[in-house]
Amino acid sequence: MEYRVEHDSMGDVQVPADRYWGAQTERSRGNFPIGVGLETMPSEIVQAFGILKKAAALANRELLPERMTQEKLDAIARACDEVIDGTLAEHFPLVVWQTGSGTQSNMNANEVIANRGNEIAGRKLLHPNDDVNMSQSSNDTFPTAMHIAAVLGIERKLLPALDSLTETFRKLAAANEGIVKCGRTHLQDATPIRFSQEISGWSESLATDREMITAALPMLRRLALGGTAVGTGINAPKSFGETAATRVAEITGSAFETAPNKFHALTSKDEFVFAHGALKALAADLMKIANDVRWLASGPRNGLAEITIPANEPGSSIMPGKVNPTQCEAVTMVAVQVIANDTAVGMAASQGNFELNVFMPVCAYNFLQSVRLLADAMASFESRCVAGITANEERMKQNLTQSLMLVTALNPYIGYEKAAETAKKAYRENISLKEACVALGYLSEERFDEVFRPEDMC
């Protein structure tokens, strides 16, 4: 491999000749060989750096035109566009497990953009610190990148997948409006419910989760940019934060704004705790829904078998013909991971010492993994399972008519204790509720048929 020599404040460093990164990135590569190839900084963070560096350059051009010339802006902006669209992805090799402020990733962005910008300009025009990092610090850029990545991940990937799954459940409910089945509480038979009502509970849970997630977005839209090192804004023009946030909003089409208190923005990650709590709520609901689906589909002969789900692949290497609820299992595993991630996000957010949080990379890594996994899992669950759910009406009717909890309909006519006695006799003697009630002398056959209407119980 061929190398070139790059220089930083600590001296010369050899860097692979075909890479745009510089000395500080190379030092980080050597100093943090932890999770290499597996846990690199999320691509969403890299893209967010491209966005914020372009926005910063635009703001500097407006506020410091004598330093940020039009030529420099053009070179930075073009390089940033390549970072944003992923063209330069291979030039961001650093792992999550680095400095807790994300300083090396900020410098990775500065060096790549400067070197690529110089290549675009055809001469050594840009310096990574003096030009690309102008009016900034790692301490305000990394939390800014975190917020941009979180908002865009939620808006562009998570919410569309959530909305699509919710709508598919609503359509499924409408298609099964007239079907009455046995309800279940404590995994035991309960009073009847319409299948459409059961499904409506799933879709409403998802709709409620959406409300909670979107409630967190306004706080995530507040950007730390402009706080620089400790929140005072040293080395940045007075209105840099406001101007840069406006440019971020223009680039992304999302309503970002400057954080009103930069001291809070640098040291606190409470917005991430709040937002990830909503993601955890979604994960918990998806766990419940996926479990409901696989229980209802259990069988096909010796389980509930009240619904049929798509058969996507063979389920066993030894049992021919076996098909498993694999999409449900994938969703539930994702839910476990997201719930676990919530602990990491909360712990990371608790480590704001004085003027800076130093657990930001791991906070961002877990948060963005949750967004990505939830979005992907919902899209797969919808297309490969939910869209193909069909009701087994005969099995639902059979299970309903065998349910002893239909006896609840008799409470107004014979009272709770007599109804309980009727149910126990029917179960003990393996006879119908009607036979038990008549045998006990509580109702005549005609009166029983008149008041016992399961379809009216839901």
Residue 186 a catalytic site member: yes
**Is residue 311, in this structure, part of any structural domain at all?**
yes
Looking at the structure, tell me whether residues 189 and 298 fall in a common domain: yes
Report cis status (omega within 30 of 0) of the bond before 237.
no
Q: Would the pLDDT of 24 be above 90?
A: yes
pLDDT at res. 38: 85
361/18 Cα distance (integer angstroms) = 27
Number of domains in the chain: 3
Looking at the structure, tell me whether residues 15 and 68 fall in a common domain: yes
Looking at the structure, tell me whether residues 129 and 12 fall in a common domain: yes
**Is residue 239, in this structure, part of any structural domain at all?**
no
Q: Which of 7, 316, 350, 444 is catalytic?
A: 316
Q: Which two tokens stand for residue 385?
A: 């399972």
Lowest mean pLDDT among 5-14, 111-120, 288-297, 367-376: 5-14
Looking at the structure, tell me whether residues 357 and 444 fall in a common domain: no
Q: Would the pLDDT of 454 be above 90?
A: no
Parent domain of 429? 403-457
**Is residue 130, in this structure, part of any structural domain at all?**
yes
List the CATH number of the domain containing 71: 1.10.275.10
pLDDT tens digits along 402-443: 999 999 999 999 999 999 999 999 999 999 999 999 999 999
- Confidence band of 458 (pLDDT split at 50, 70, 90): confident
**Is residue 176, in this structure, part of any structural domain at all?**
yes
Instruction: Say how many CA atoms lie within 13 Å of 52 toward its Cβ.
Output: 37
Q: Which of 28, 127, 186, 317 is catalytic?
A: 186
Domain boundary among 78, 109, 134: 134
Q: Would the pLDDT of 1 be above 90?
A: no
- What percentage of residues in the chain have a pLDDT greater than 70? 100
pLDDT at res. 409: 94
pLDDT tens digits along 178-205: 999 999 999 999 999 999 999 999 999 9
pTM of the model: 0.95
Looking at the structure, tell me whether residues 97 and 214 fall in a common domain: no
Looking at the structure, tell me whether residues 121 and 158 fall in a common domain: no
> Between β-strands 257-258 and 222-223, what pairing exists: parallel, antiparallel or unpaired?
parallel
Tell me the average pLDDT across 122-129.
Answer: 98
Say if residue 375 is exposed, middle or buried (CB neighbours under 10 Å; 0-12, 13-18, 19+): buried
pLDDT at res. 139: 98
List the CATH number of the domain containing 361: 1.20.200.10
H helices of 229-386, in order, are: 240-252, 262-267, 270-296, 326-349, 360-384
Question: Mean pLDDT in the chain?
Answer: 97
Domain boundary among 134, 168, 195: 134
Contact (Cβ atoms closer than 8 angstroms) between residue 91 and residue 20: yes
Looking at the structure, tell me whether residues 348 and 292 fall in a common domain: yes
Q: Would the pLDDT of 210 be above 90?
A: yes
- Positive/negative CA dihedral, 336, 340, 345, 350: positive
304/291 Cα distance (integer angstroms) = 13
Looking at the structure, tell me whether residues 299 and 436 fall in a common domain: no
Looking at the structure, tell me whether residues 156 and 84 fall in a common domain: no
**Is residue 140, in this structure, part of any structural domain at all?**
no
Looking at the structure, tell me whether residues 103 and 190 fall in a common domain: no
Q: Tokens 């499924």 appear where?
A: 172
**Is residue 245, in this structure, part of any structural domain at all?**
no
User: Any idea how long the chain is?
Assistant: 458
- Better-scored residue on pLDDT, 453 or 138: 138
Cα torsion at 101, 115, 242, 152 (round to 10°)?
Answer: -70
H helices of 8-98, in order, are: 23-31, 43-63, 70-84
pLDDT tens digits along 266-286: 999 999 999 999 999 999 999
Domain boundary among 394, 412, 437: 394
Looking at the structure, tell me whether residues 331 and 387 fall in a common domain: yes
**Is residue 232, in this structure, part of any structural domain at all?**
no
Residue 147 a catalytic site member: no
Straight-line distance from the first to the last Cα atom of the chain, in angstroms, rounded to the nearest whole number: 73
List the CATH number of the domain containing 417: 1.10.40.30
Q: Tokens 């050594």 appear where?
A: 124
**Is residue 303, in this structure, part of any structural domain at all?**
yes
Looking at the structure, tell me whether residues 182 and 33 fall in a common domain: no
- What percentage of residues in the chain have a pLDDT greater than 90? 96
